[in-house]
Amino acid sequence: MDKLRQELSSLHIEKALDIATRDGAFAKEMYAGFGSCKEIVALDRSDKMFEKGREKCAGMPVNFVIGDACHMDFEDNTFDVVGIGNSLHHIPDLAALLEKVFSPAAVERALAGMTDETPFTRAEAAAAINALLELDTAGLANAPYFPDVAPSMENYAAVELAGQSGTISWLSGDRAEPGFLNLDGYLYCVGDDGYFLRDTMVGTLYFDISGRYTSGDDALDTFVADLVDSQTNASMTREEMLRAVYEYVRDHYLYLKRSLYEVGETGWEIPEALLMFQSGKGNCYNFTAAFWSLARGIGFDAVCYSGLVGVGRDPHSWVEITFDGVPYVFDVETEMSYRLVNDYITSMYWKTYEEVAAWSYVRTPGEAAAVPETAG
C-alpha cells in the first residue's frame, strides 16, 4: 500500500472511479494518495455499505453511486484513473469489465487458461493482472494454498506484488491450523493438510470454488459476513462467537407478528432471515432464521425447526445444534420474550430437550401425532 500511495502521489488527477467500492475504503486510500482530486465516483451494485462509506469518507469528494461494473455507461475519458481494490475476483463477468480498459487481445491473453468458475479466486485475479501487464504468472492461478481471503491475514501464504522486479513471489509462512476460520466475516475451512477446502461439503455447510462458505444466497451471505465481522473477533473461541451472535439477535431485533408455518415445513429459512436483517422485526421464525444463518456462518451445523410448543401446541420455531451426538435447543425468540417481562434469569441458550421439557417441543409431524391433545 505504501508503494501504491507513492505512485498515486505523482499523478495529477481530477476525476477517478473506484469499482466495487463497498464501504469506500479504497476510494479513501485513492483520495489520500492523490493529494488533490475533484471527485471520486465510488461504484457498487449494492448501496448496503454506502452509509458506512459516507462516514468513512466524510469531507472528501467521494460520490457513492449504484451501478454494475460489467455494464457501465460512462462516456470515454470520463476518468483519469480507474481503481478496484481487492475485488477483481468477485466480478462475475471479468472479460466485460477488462475490455472497458484494455484491448481485446490483452484481455484474451490475461484470461487464457483460466477456469470458467466465477467468481475468480484472488490467485486467478492476480494472474490476470500480471498477464495484462505482461508479467510472469507461472504457477500462480493453480497454487493450492491461495483461497479467496485477504492476503494480510495471519498464517496465510500471501502473494506479494514485487514492484521492483515486476514479478509475483510467494511468501510461505506457517499454514493455518485445520478447522473453521472467519476472515472479513466470511467462513472458510482449513483441511488437515493446511489447505483451504473448496467445492466441498463439511456436514451440511457448502464451501464454494473460492473456499468460502455460502448459504446459496449472496445477499444473505453478505448480511451474515458483515454481522459476524462486527460482533465477533479473532480472539474468541467458536463457542464465544456463537454466544455473541445469539445475544445480538436476541437484543437487536423487535417482535412483529408474521406468517406461521406447518410442522416440519422447510424452505422458509433464507427468506425469513433476509426479512429480519432487512426490516429488524419478525416473529419466532425470523428470530430463528437469523440466528441459524449466523450460527452456520461461524461453522455450526445448525438446523431450523418449524414445530409446536407448550400445552396449547402453538406453532413455534427454534434452532437445534448437535454436539457429541446430543441435540441442543437454541430458542432466541423465547428468551427475548422472557426479557421483555424483566426475566433476565431464564435462558433458552444451549439447552437439552430435557432441560426445557416444560415447553414440550415438537419437531416433526410424527412427534405431533404422538402428543395427545390437551382438553380445554
CATH of the domain at 326: 3.10.620.30
For 136-227, strand residue ranges (E) read 158-162, 167-171, 179-183, 186-190, 200-202, 205-207, 213-214
Report whether pLDDT(233) > 50. yes
User: Is residue 286 situated within a structural domain?
Assistant: yes
User: Is residue 340 situated within a structural domain?
Assistant: yes
- Top-confidence residue, 254 or 375: 254
Report whether pLDDT(250) > 80. yes
Looking at the 3D structure of the chain, how many domains does it have? 1
pLDDT at residue 153 in the model: 36
User: Is residue 27 situated within a structural domain?
Assistant: no
Residues with Cβ within 8 Å of 15's Cβ and at least 6 positions away in sequence, in order, are: 37, 38, 39, 40, 41, 78, 79, 80
User: Is residue 124 situated within a structural domain?
Assistant: no
User: Is residue 354 situated within a structural domain?
Assistant: yes
User: Is residue 334 situated within a structural domain?
Assistant: yes
Contact 187, 241 (CB under 8 A): no
Domain region containing 235 = 231-370
Q: Mean of the pLDDT values across residues 199-205?
A: 92
Measure Cα distances from 204 to 159, 201, 293, 297 in Å: 31, 6, 12, 12
Residues with Cβ within 8 Å of 178's Cβ and at least 6 positions away in sequence, in order, are: 190, 191, 192, 194
pLDDT at residue 374 in the model: 43
pLDDT at residue 33 in the model: 76
Q: Mean of the pLDDT values across residues 250-277?
A: 95
Strands 15-19 and 81-84: parallel
User: Is residue 282 situated within a structural domain?
Assistant: yes
pLDDT at residue 170 in the model: 30
Banded pLDDT at 108 (limits 50, 70, 90)? confident
Q: Mean of the pLDDT values across residues 177-206?
A: 85
User: Is residue 61 situated within a structural domain?
Assistant: no
pLDDT at residue 155 in the model: 29
Residue bearing cell 420474550: 337
Q: Which three cell numbers stand for residue 66?
A: 449504484
Q: Mean of the pLDDT values across residues 82-111?
A: 76
